[in-house]
């Protein structure tokens, strides 16, 4: 009986050896690939967390430079942010933040440079849109109306259409094109949610032009005057 068990065990061992000899290398390679992929996944997520933490720390420096209205320090830390963490949301937020402060400091060209970087480098449509709208505002301030309209005629997400229409209305008003301005203000008024405070501002603009926000024929009639 013992000999029979020994023979069965030996047969099983022989089968295992044969199986391993035939498939052992393939199994080893599969395991190596799986373990390598798992290690790479872990490292990637560790790297992402590390990048986010470092970017957040640098963004804090950007914020402090902005609060101090220190243009030299703003330029330095924002440059570091672009060089090291250009793909993070912190970099896009930094661009918008420093651009706003540059405008306050009377440095429109520096503001345009920061906003252009965000508009061109950001993969987020929201940040791109904000940057373009602010660029258009700077162009309007400097009376570069064609440049402003070029920016406003670019593609925007649906959530920005009302803001774009309102900004276009402002450009047309500055150009003395009342009919076009009315059409854009009316578009903006209709696109804004009734609960949005900005809609009230658009309504004030329409009222100032002698139009009571409402049916389209009222706007058309006013535009024909």
- d(C-alpha 212, C-alpha 178), whole Å: 15
Mean pLDDT of 149-168: 95
- d(C-alpha 171, C-alpha 180), whole Å: 10
- d(C-alpha 51, C-alpha 35), whole Å: 24
| 206-215 pLDDT, tens digit each | 998 888 875 5
Q: Which residues of the chain form CATH 1.25.40.10? A: 53-156
| Cβ burial, residue 109 (10 Å; 0-12/13-18/19+) | exposed
| 16-67 pLDDT, tens digit each | 666 556 666 666 665 565 555 554 544 444 545 666 678 888 888 988 998 8
Mean pLDDT of 72-76: 91
**pLDDT for residue 76 is more than 90:** yes
Phi, psi of 82 (to 5 degrees): -65, -40
Indicate the CATH number of 53-156 among 3.90.380.10, 1.25.40.10, 3.40.50.300, 1.10.1740.110: 1.25.40.10
* Helical spans, DSSP H, in the chain: 2-67, 71-85, 89-104, 108-121, 125-141, 145-152, 161-174, 178-191, 197-208, 216-223
Report whether 115 contacts 99 (CB < 8 A). Answer: yes
pTM (whole model) above 0.75:
no
Pull the structure tokens for residue 172. 């047309």
Q: What is the pLDDT of residue 3?
A: 53
Cα 186 → chain centroid: 28
Biggest distance spanned by C-alpha atoms of the chain? 114
Count CB-CB contacts under 10 A for residue 66.
22
Q: What is the pLDDT of residue 21?
A: 66
Contacts of 138 (CB under 8 A, 6+ apart): 103, 108, 111, 112, 115
- d(C-alpha 69, C-alpha 157), whole Å: 32
**pLDDT for residue 122 is more than 60:** yes
Q: What is the pLDDT of residue 86?
A: 83
Q: What is the pLDDT of residue 157?
A: 94
Instruction: Give the residue from 129, 127, 102, 126 showing the smallest Cα distance to 114.
Output: 102
């Amino acid at each position: 009986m013992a000999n029979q068990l020994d023979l069965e065990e030996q047969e099983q061992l022989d089968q295992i050896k044969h199986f391993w000899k035939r498939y052992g290398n393939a199994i080893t390679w599969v395991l190596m690939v799986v373990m390598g992929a798992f290690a790479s996944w872990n490292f990637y997520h560790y790297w992402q967390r590390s990048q986010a933490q470092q970017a957040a720390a640098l963004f804090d420096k950007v914020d402090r430079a902005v609060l101090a209205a220190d243009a030299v320090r703003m330029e330095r830390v924002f440059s570091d942010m672009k060089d090291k963490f250009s793909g993070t949301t912190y970099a896009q937020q930094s661009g918008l933040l420093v651009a706003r402060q540059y405008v306050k400091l009377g440095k429109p060209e520096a503001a345009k440079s920061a906003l252009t970087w965000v508009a061109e480098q950001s993969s987020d449509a929201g940040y791109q849109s904000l940057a373009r709208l602010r660029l258009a505002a700077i162009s309007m301030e400097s009376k570069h109306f064609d440049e402003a309209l070029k920016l406003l005629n670019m593609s925007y997400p649906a959530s920005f259409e009302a803001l774009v229409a309102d900004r276009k209305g402002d450009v047309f008003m500055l150009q003395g094109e009342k009919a076009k301005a009315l059409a854009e203000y009316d578009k903006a008024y209709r696109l804004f949610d009734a609960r949005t405070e900005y809609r009230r501002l658009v309504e004030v603009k329409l009222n100032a032009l002698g139009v009571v926000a409402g049916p389209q024929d009222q706007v058309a009639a006013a535009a024909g005057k």
